[in-house]
Amino acid sequence: MLFCFYFSSAQDQIICDSEFNFFGVDMDENNGNGSTNSTYQWFVFEDEFEGEIVPQTSSDNQIIIEWENTPEGEYTVLVQEINSEVSCEPEPKQMSIILRDLSPENILGPNYVCEGETIALAHTFQTEGEWALEDENIGQISQNGNFEALHSGQAIVNFSYNNNGCEFSVSKLIQVHPKPQPSLQGGEICLDLEADETIILNSGLSHQDYDFQWYHNEQLITNSSSHIFISEVGEFKLIVTNQETGCVSDVISTQVVELQKPAVSATVYSDFENNQRIEVSIDNPEAYLFKLGDAPFQESNIFYNITTEGKHHISIKEKDGCFFMKIEVIVINYPKFFTPNNDSYNDTWNIHSLRNDPTAEVYIFDRYGKLLKTISPAAKGWDGTYHGKKMPSNDYWFLVEYTDRNDGSQRSFRSNFTLKR
């Protein structure tokens, strides 16, 4: 049996934008297509309606209304069911629609900021909304709209608010530019004023992309280059500005101090012994580190068990300062053998560690005490011959007379060495 019926009453709706809205009746019947043998007609009464009614089913029981350019206001949506199996025509059902054509208002404020700075963002409904940030690694935002940039990158700021019953969420992309990162040698830099030394302070950045402000003892230096030449002591500061972004670096500084040169000397003890020692003399040795040749630095200023004759280099550096110095010492000893076979290795014998002593003389004897040769340590040395005749492999004796470099006294030393053929 067919009969006429009415739709259940519909509630008034508030539509918060002018794009589209969904409407439907009898959606639980006939697999969502409405009553069997029924079609549905939809109307918007008001002449101001500029949109379009778009069917979503074959019976038109479900539609979308595209409001498009329809101005905000109150509208009446009516739906009429027509059933081909009944003679009665149900009363149309209507719904009152309040259309609020409210476009979300944008977030006000800068689109970029420099790393480490804070910018103020604003919105008309700021007191009624909530601020949020999608990437908190880039920055953070307070509920009064202040965005603090922590790291360079892109941050999306969101603001959600309610306007006349309509919920809106708007976003703003903030570009965080990095601060310039100049580099200066940290700590103290020593300057040798006695030697009229000039050093260079370099920012490590290009003058083509950045502007530079150098200060000496808080006074601006009239130099906008990426580096400056320093010939005086004091505190030097640098501020760098990125020409493209305007971002300013942190203030970096370095202290240039006068190089203090302590008196340094070294004493070699026990000439001609197999194991000698070297002691470095310097005020407050606890403040320095010492190194012999290529060995690692050590705390002690004394080196033991030195067996190699000739020149030795000692490096001295300050633990908490910039003093560095190298000195040369001579360990006086003699070769224990030589091999005069013209192979360019140990072909002659001499005490070259005394070559800088003009008073030194070396006398060479055979095992019976016969004088074979008198040589100077500054000369080439003995080639193992006597009056042009090659002396045989054997032990030979020597006597050396020299001036003690520590106290200036005259000394002599006697020992033997081996000739090997």
Last residue of a domain, one of 126, 158, 177: 177
Find the length of the chain: 421
Residue 377 lies in a domain: yes
Residue 199 lies in a domain: yes
State the pLDDT at residue 21.
79
Q: How far is CA 292 from CA 305, 311, 327, 331, in A?
A: 12, 11, 10, 12
Structural domain that includes position 53: 13-99
89 and 118: one domain?
no
pTM for this model (two decimals): 0.57
Residue 7 lies in a domain: no
Contact by Cβ (8 Å): 242, 180? yes
State the pLDDT at residue 72.
82
Give me the sign of the Cα torsion angle 215, 221, 227, 232. Answer: negative
- Mean pLDDT in order along the chain per 10 residues (421 residues): 34 61 86 89 92 93 87 88 80 82 83 96 91 91 95 95 82 96 82 88 92 95 88 94 96 91 93 94 96 96 93 93 90 95 93 95 96 96 95 97 92 96 91
Last residue of a domain, one of 99, 134, 161: 99
Question: What are the residues whose beta carbons fall under 8 Å from the beta carbon of 120, sequence distance 6 or more?
Answer: 109, 145, 146, 147
27 and 93: one domain?
yes
Residue 286 lies in a domain: yes
CATH of the domain at 117: 2.60.40.1080
State the pLDDT at residue 27.
87
393 and 342: one domain?
yes
State the pLDDT at residue 136.
83
Residue 41 lies in a domain: yes
CATH of the domain at 342: 2.60.40
Round to whole Å and give the CA distance between 81 and 92.
7
CATH of the domain at 38: 2.60.40.10
Question: What are the residues whose beta carbons fall under 8 Å from the beta carbon of 418, sequence distance 6 or more?
Answer: 336, 337, 338, 393, 394, 395, 396
State the pLDDT at residue 349.
97
224 and 294: one domain?
no
83 and 60: one domain?
yes
Residue 107 lies in a domain: no
State the pLDDT at residue 171.
94
What type of residue is 107? Answer: I
197 and 220: one domain?
yes
DSSP state of 129: S
126 and 197: one domain?
no
193 and 245: one domain?
yes
Last residue of a domain, one of 121, 156, 177: 177
DSSP state of 128: G
Round to whole Å and give the CA distance between 128 and 168.
11
Give me the number of domains the chain comprises: 5
